[in-house]
Structure 1
Amino acid sequence: MTKSFTLVALLCICFLLHSPTAEAKICQRYSQTWSGRCTETSHCDRQCINWEDARHGACHEDKRGRACFCYFNCKN
């Protein structure tokens, strides 16, 4: 089930980044409120939206392990 959430999250991100109607570019950063390993993208997504006013959140592998990343409209 986690793989399907990750796939949906990645597809949403790709759509937002490549959508011709998108006015703002999307910027990624580590979640400022998440602690520990990120195992459920749906939980990361909910926390990024509700706690950090992000458009989206997702778990991704990086050099630290699985981390929660939040996605925002880039500031000009």
Structure 2
Amino acid sequence: MTTAQTQGLIGMLTVLGILVLLALPSTVGILRDRRIDRQIREAQEAREASEDQKSSSRSTVPSTATWYAEGRRSKKLVSS
């Protein structure tokens, strides 16, 4: 290997090293964003699953507002 070839190889490796150093932060950022997106998606799916379970196990007892409104309606009908 001649001196010119060695210098060319060293220059090419230097350029590739600089390219890797420049691309590394953005690659790490992309991977981090994908991981966070996956965690958010899993949390939303878990929340939806727990809401589905809650909605099926909710009691059918009317709320206080409904009970109060029904009582007021019946009083109006009786007094009329």
| Interval of TM-score (by shorter of Structure 1 and Structure 2) | under 0.3
Structure scoring higher RCO (CA < 8 A, sep ≥ 6) equals: 1
Q: Structure 1 or 2: larger helix share?
A: 2
Q: Where is the strand percentage greater, Structure 1 or Structure 2?
A: 1
In the superposition, the TM-score normalised over structure 1's length comes to 0.27
